[in-house]
Structure 1
């Protein structure tokens, strides 16, 4: 009698376990669940790419600082005179309203 009860209980437990396992797997394979998993993985991939980009930028800045120190350069990039734009008063609306180093950019008179 105890033997039958033991095997019956074991069979019920195995059935409950198998049913639970199958239901969990079916829930994982629903379209909504698959979409959520894909979105989570895309967000994770985006974070990894962002961290990689930040690491690359940091390495570039470190390397640039090392090169500037090695070459003895002290001026910050972008401070050269040829990059300064000044407004040109009374410019024609179709011409660029700025000059670069006192030269008008755009069409030149020949």
Structure 2
């Protein structure tokens, strides 16, 4: 997992945005620069503002942060959402995947979905 500030910097540079554009008058440029270089953290409210300026959702941001992969939980949720109801092999596979995940992780949502499966 990358440092959040470095990811923001990569996204900003990729879009060709300046620091000044991204922070408007919401943050100091010095504070934002420290954040982008991994030297400090920012509040969730400021992070939301920055991502909004970058036109990036939190979901997209975390996808990028995890090297363009979904977290295992998110991947399992997507498998369930995209599941064809009458595909027995897929049902068995996803049921097994959920059990394996839940043996190592405590997650109420995935536990409830496992009951449904």
Give the TM-score range, shorter chain: under 0.3
TM, length-normalised to structure 2: 0.22
Q: TM-score, normalised by structure 1?
A: 0.23
Q: Which structure has greater strand proportion?
A: 1
